[in-house]
Amino acid sequence: MNKIPSVNLEDFISGDPIRKQKFINEIGRAYEEIGFVALKGHFLSDDLVSNLYKEIKNFFNLPLDVKQKYEIPGIGGQRGYVSFGKESAKGKKEGDLKEFWHFGQYVENNPELEKEYPSNVEVTELPEFNKIGKETYKMLEKTAKYVLRALALHLNLDEDYFDQYIHNGNSILRPIHYPPITQEPKDAVRAAAHGDINLITLLMGAQGKGLQVQNHAGDWLDAIAEPDELMINVGDMLSRHSNNKLKSTIHRVVNPPKELWGTSRYSIPFFMHPISDMKLNVLDSCVDDNNPKQFEDITAGEFLNERLVELGLIKK
């Protein structure tokens, strides 16, 4: 496959069984072949998107000492601000050329999970920042729920199989700012080649060149969404759970050509994580004589912790 397929979530929720099955077939095939789709018909309104970009630009334009007030020690960067160059891809020592913010789950009726997850961080300088962030989080979580329902059916599971695991799940909304590049980067790119940790990732801000996806032949493809599309990819948790039937694809954000070094780039991924005690054990329906079990049993929480250590965000 040499381009990213486009699908429309309205087909899945249309109430028409033929359109619904068309969506399941299209997204299932795309995730088996390249691990990425561009998705129309999501739950984000144009106004919400516009307000979110305004708020995150306001935040990243704050003085560095103000932003650093919101960098919370001891939580592996799971909430609040993470400063420039702190995160590196697995196996890479150079820090990525980015700074970012983390919104986390707004737990409903579960005191145990409220204790497990760090609290969201309130930005006092920007009264709308947290409100708009929460609304975006909820709409992306709702979109992700329907995508996972389609994938459950593709994997011969009950349609609502994932619902119990993603309700109050450990999902993260990450507005990222890639600042202008001021000098020749030494082996560093805006985001080095990596696979995502989680079940699926929904990405806002893939409308310009920069994001690249590696296909099975090892070629890098530009992944550019239309203005009304989210880019959605499979993460390592879902790849493990499906015995690599659904592919977690390596991707990167490359530096722009030199004439565009003076420009910022913003992108906003939503990393859909389940609750930490979800078992990621390989599904029986994804194992047969041609595809023996490829992964050891592990929970989502154990897997996440392993990866955060590898990324340098948590110390052993």
In this predicted structure, the answer to whether residue 190 has a pLDDT above a threshold of 70 is no
In the chain, what are the domain boundaries?
Answer: 6-310
Q: Which CATH architecture has domain 6-310?
A: Sandwich (2.60)
CA angle 12, 13, 14 (to 5 degrees): 95
What pLDDT sits at residue 118? Answer: 93
Quote the CA–CA distance of 166 and 149 in Å, as a whole number.
11
The tokens of 171 are what?
């999902």
**Percent with pLDDT over 90 in the chain:** 66
- Over residues 65-92, mean pLDDT: 80
Which residue bears the tokens 């959605």?
Answer: 232
The mean pLDDT of the chain is 89
Under 8 Å between Cβ of 231 and 211: yes
- Write down the pLDDT at residue 92: 52
SS3 226: coil
pLDDT at 284: 93
- Residue 95 confidence class, pLDDT cut points 50, 70, 90: low
Provide the pLDDT confidence category of residue 207 given band limits of 50, 70 and 90. low
pLDDT in tens, 281-313: 999 999 999 999 999 999 999 999 888 788 776
pLDDT at 96: 62
Residue that has been written with the tokens 């780039």 in this structure = 265
